[in-house]
């Protein structure tokens, strides 16, 4: 029989960005809160300290900071006809693990979506008509508008300590910022970081082409900073170990630098690590949850943690898995199109150009994850979808972010992959290449979804979650558009060799190479209980005391890295809990 813990007001599943934000904001209400974290505890010291963290093999290649597939993974198939097979070793995406979650290992690119992206179906309908929407695309508006979200984006950016240059303050276009961004109520919390050589070459070329370059918005401190919770960050030293690593410098926006110590100071908050939530338990009326059951790795037993409010704040894939296992929302059926949980899984459509300059020194190891100069000239708000024949867009960026040689060794196409020629090429080209990446939107489709696998199970005997996902012609056409534009600009930059890397029409999803950990959807927000799993306040439509936060809420993925929207939605949700739900627990919509 399961051990039972003392009842809490709130139980939070997962202690990363959204879990720690929910924790700190609800702790301010005086509620008794416990967070349950599957992984280990971790702090900058000792877990991320210099020099141990500066280890490409251990963390960059053997992925010791990440979720181990042996503990938890998914199965993957490209279509209904294929048999899904386990994602046995990590490749395409890298879910985080431990306290801080994905917030510890990200690159720090902190974007807001464009206004048009949150109201995308309406935007398409009003400008081109609904007939341009492909039959298999499940295009919806978010049930929140940019204007509603703006204060919450601002709040998250202050907490996370974002560096950048505003391009639009209350409708006034600002020199040097992104003229195509949604309006901001104020300037970034910190000024932009300095520009590396590669980024300056891109900036020059973009300006000459009449484009609008600006510093990429960075969850990387450009100076000493104290956030609204009293947490402190120090300026980045461009060590070049952001993505896949925790920041040893207290410079990257992480729960460890922005929320956790402030949260731990609340006596009404506690957390347990090695506590893997197995399912959410339901009341007999079927309308509410009673708490969660978790596996305690220390005592090797199941534990029931009763609570009045359950907040699912684990990684998107794990949130959806828990909801499917617990009967939160009707599971989505891709054949009938009915059901909501697991619907609209989406990803990201990226490409890039590599430019080789024999005589240039880029020092690729001098950088950070959000380094460089970006443009939004080929973004969603700037493309004529009717003319181009797709719905979507991308931002571009150039900026050194890691020169770690096991993984970051760009060589001209056609170079031998081993032997004397390979050795000669690495000597000739290391440090002499730069890249421009295009980071593109990914729409939602009837076919791409998440459900429970019929064959494979995890160590607790639960079915693994099954991902059915493949690239769609609409997004591939968007990618080909970006390719043509990127080729055009690259030609003006005078490189000795220019290599183009974009997915071709007909490309199949390949789980091996790292692509991005921007897995989205599956518990999407909606304005009706038949089209999504949660309402605009991330509240489960069918279980009003369950809130599911994170990128699972994304109706379709935006063209940007997801954290800015994830953070904004977390503050939006927790604001609704504080101001509307606690005084009168009920469905808020």
Partner 1 sequence: MTDLPGIPSRRNFLKASAATVALVGVAAQAKAKETAAAVPLDEYKPEYLNAVEWAFVMAATARLIPSEGDGPGALEARVPVFIDLQLAGDYGTAEDWYMAGPHDPTVAADRGWQTPLNPAEVYRKAIPLVDDWCRTTHGAIFAELEADKQDATLTALQKGEVTLPPDVTIFFTTLLANTKEGYFADPMYGGNHGMASWVYIGFPGARAAFREWPTRHNIKYPLGPVSIKGERA
Active site residues: 518
Question: What residues does 169 pair with on adjacent strands?
Answer: 172, 184
User: Least distance to partner 1 from the beta carbon of 164, Å?
Assistant: 16
Nearest to 161 by CA among 250, 227, 110: 227
Among 98, 108, 167, 240, binds partner 1 (CB under 8 A): 240
Ranges assigned E (strand) in 362-503: 373-375, 394-398, 433-440, 449-457, 463-468, 497-501
Any contact of residue 386 with partner 1 (CB under 8 A)? Answer: no
**The one segment of 28-36, 256-264, 452-460, 479-487 that binds partner 1 by CB under 8 A:** 452-460
Q: Which of residues 75 and 472 has its CB atom nearest to partner 1 in the complex? A: 75
Neighbours of 494 (CB within 10 A): 12
Binding mask 479-518 for partner 1 (x = CB under 8 A): -----------------------------xxxxx------
Any contact of residue 225 with partner 1 (CB under 8 A)? Answer: no
Any contact of residue 193 with partner 1 (CB under 8 A)? Answer: yes
- Near partner 1 in 135-174, by CB under 8 A: none
Q: How far apart are CA 53 and CA 73, in angstroms?
A: 25
**The one segment of 98-106, 109-117, 189-197, 558-566 that binds partner 1 by CB under 8 A:** 189-197
Helix (H, G, I), strand (E, B) or coil at 129: coil
Q: Which of residues 83 and 583 has its CB atom nearest to partner 1 in the complex? A: 83
Q: Which of residues 54 and 211 has its CB atom nearest to partner 1 in the complex? A: 54
Any contact of residue 354 with partner 1 (CB under 8 A)? Answer: no
**Backbone dihedral angles phi then psi of residue 19, each to the nearest 5 degrees:** -65, -40
Among 365, 469, 471, 541, binds partner 1 (CB under 8 A): 365
Q: For residue 166, what are its two tokens?
A: 């505003």
User: Least distance to partner 1 from the beta carbon of 129, Å?
Assistant: 38
Whether residue 141 contacts residue 555, with contact meaning beta carbons closer than 8 Å, is answered with yes
Name 33's Cβ contacts closer than 8 Å, sequence gap at least 6.
8, 9, 10, 11, 12, 23, 26, 27, 266, 268, 269, 270
Is-cis flag, bond preceding 46, omega within 30?
yes
Whether residue 165 contacts residue 215, with contact meaning beta carbons closer than 8 Å, is answered with yes
**The one segment of 28-36, 67-75, 265-273, 385-393 that binds partner 1 by CB under 8 A:** 67-75
Half-sphere exposure of 429 (CA within 13 A, CB side): 23
- Near partner 1 in 263-322, by CB under 8 A: none
36: which DSSP letter?
E
Among 1, 46, 81, 83, binds partner 1 (CB under 8 A): 83
Helix (H, G, I), strand (E, B) or coil at 544: coil
Whether residue 474 contacts residue 556, with contact meaning beta carbons closer than 8 Å, is answered with no
Any contact of residue 224 with partner 1 (CB under 8 A)? Answer: no
End-to-end CA distance of the chain: 38
**The one segment of 41-49, 85-93, 183-191, 264-272 that binds partner 1 by CB under 8 A:** 85-93
Count of chain residues binding partner 1 (CB under 8 A): 66
User: Least distance to partner 1 from the beta carbon of 368, Å?
Assistant: 9
- Near partner 1 in 526-555, by CB under 8 A: none
Q: H-helix or E-strand containing 312?
A: strand 301-312
Among 131, 336, 361, 583, binds partner 1 (CB under 8 A): 361
SS (H, E, C) 209-224: CCCCCEECCECECCCC
Strand 8-13 relative to strand 343-346, pairing: unpaired
Among 241, 269, 315, 396, binds partner 1 (CB under 8 A): 241
User: Least distance to partner 1 from the beta carbon of 248, Å?
Assistant: 8
Any contact of residue 461 with partner 1 (CB under 8 A)? Answer: no
Binding site for partner 1 (CB under 8 A): 50-52, 54-57, 61-64, 68-70, 73, 76, 83, 85-89, 91, 193-197, 200, 235, 237-241, 248, 360-361, 363, 365-367, 371, 403-406, 417-420, 422-424, 426-427, 430-431, 455-457, 508-512
């Amino acid at each position: 029989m399961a051990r039972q813990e003392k009842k809490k007001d709130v139980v939070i599943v997962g202690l990363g960005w959204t879990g720690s934000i929910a924790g700190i904001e609800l702790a301010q209400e005086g509620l008794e809160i416990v967070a349950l974290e599957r992984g280990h505890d971790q702090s900058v010291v000792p877990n991320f300290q210099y020099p141990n963290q500066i280890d490409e093999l251990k963390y960059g290649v053997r992925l010791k900071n990440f979720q181990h597939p042996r503990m938890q993974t998914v199965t993957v198939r490209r279509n209904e006809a294929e048999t899904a097979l386990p994602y046995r070793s990590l490749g395409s995406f890298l879910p985080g693990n431990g306290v801080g979650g994905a917030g510890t290992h990200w690159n720090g690119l902190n974007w807001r979506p464009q206004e048009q992206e949150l109201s995308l179906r309406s935007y398409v309908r009003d400008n081109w008509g609904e007939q341009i929407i492909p039959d298999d695309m499940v295009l919806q508006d978010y049930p929140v508008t940019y204007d509603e979200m703006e204060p919450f984006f601002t709040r998250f950016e202050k907490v996370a300590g974002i560096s950048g240059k505003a391009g639009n303050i209350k409708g006034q276009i600002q020199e040097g910022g992104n003229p195509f961004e949604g309006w901001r109520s104020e300037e970034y919390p910190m000024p932009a970081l300095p520009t590396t050589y590669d980024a300056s070459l891109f900036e020059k070329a973009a300006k000459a082409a009449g484009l609008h370059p600006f510093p990429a918005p960075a969850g990387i401190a450009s100076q000493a900073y104290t956030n609204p919770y009293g947490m402190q960050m120090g300026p980045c030293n461009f060590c070049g170990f952001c993505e896949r690593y925790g920041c040893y410098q207290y410079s990257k926006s992480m729960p460890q630098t922005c929320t956790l110590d402030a949260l731990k100071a609340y006596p009404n908050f506690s957390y347990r690590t090695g506590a893997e939530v197995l399912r959410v338990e339901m009341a007999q009326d079927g309308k509410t949850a009673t708490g969660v059951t978790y596996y305690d790795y220390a005592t090797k037993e199941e534990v029931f943690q009763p609570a009045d409010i359950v907040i699912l704040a684990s990684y998107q894939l794990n949130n959806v898995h828990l909801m499917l296992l617990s009967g939160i929302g009707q599971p989505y059926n891709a054949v009938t199109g009915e059901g909501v949980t697991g619907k609209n899984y989406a990803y990201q459509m990226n490409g890039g150009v590599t430019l080789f300059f024999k005589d240039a020194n880029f020092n690729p190891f001098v950088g950070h994850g959000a380094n460089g100069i970006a443009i939004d000239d080929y973004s969603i708000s700037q493309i004529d979808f009717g003319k181009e024949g797709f719905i979507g867009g991308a931002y571009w960026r150039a900026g050194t972010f890691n020169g770690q040689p096991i993984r970051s060794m760009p060589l001209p196409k056609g170079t031998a992959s081993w032997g004397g020629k390979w050795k000669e090429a690495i000597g000739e080209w290391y440090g002499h290449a730069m890249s421009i990446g295009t980071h593109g939107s990914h729409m939602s489709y009837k076919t791409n979804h998440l459900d429970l696998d019929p064959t494979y199970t995890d160590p607790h005997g639960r079915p693994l979650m099954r991902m059915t996902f493949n690239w769609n012609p609409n997004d591939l056409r968007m990618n080909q558009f970006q390719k043509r534009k990127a080729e055009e600009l690259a030609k003006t930059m005078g490189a000795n060799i220019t290599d183009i890397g974009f997915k071709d029409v007909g490309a199949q999803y390949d789980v091996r190479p790292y692509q991005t950990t921007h897995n989205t959807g599956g518990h999407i927000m909606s304005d009706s209980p038949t089209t999504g799993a949660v309402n605009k306040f991330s509240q489960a439509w069918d279980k009003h005391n369950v809130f599911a936060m994170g990128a699972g809420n994304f109706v379709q993925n935006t063209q940007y890295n997801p954290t800015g929207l994830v953070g904004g939605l977390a503050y939006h949700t927790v604001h609704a809990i504080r101001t509307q739900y606690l005084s009168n627990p009920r469905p808020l919509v």
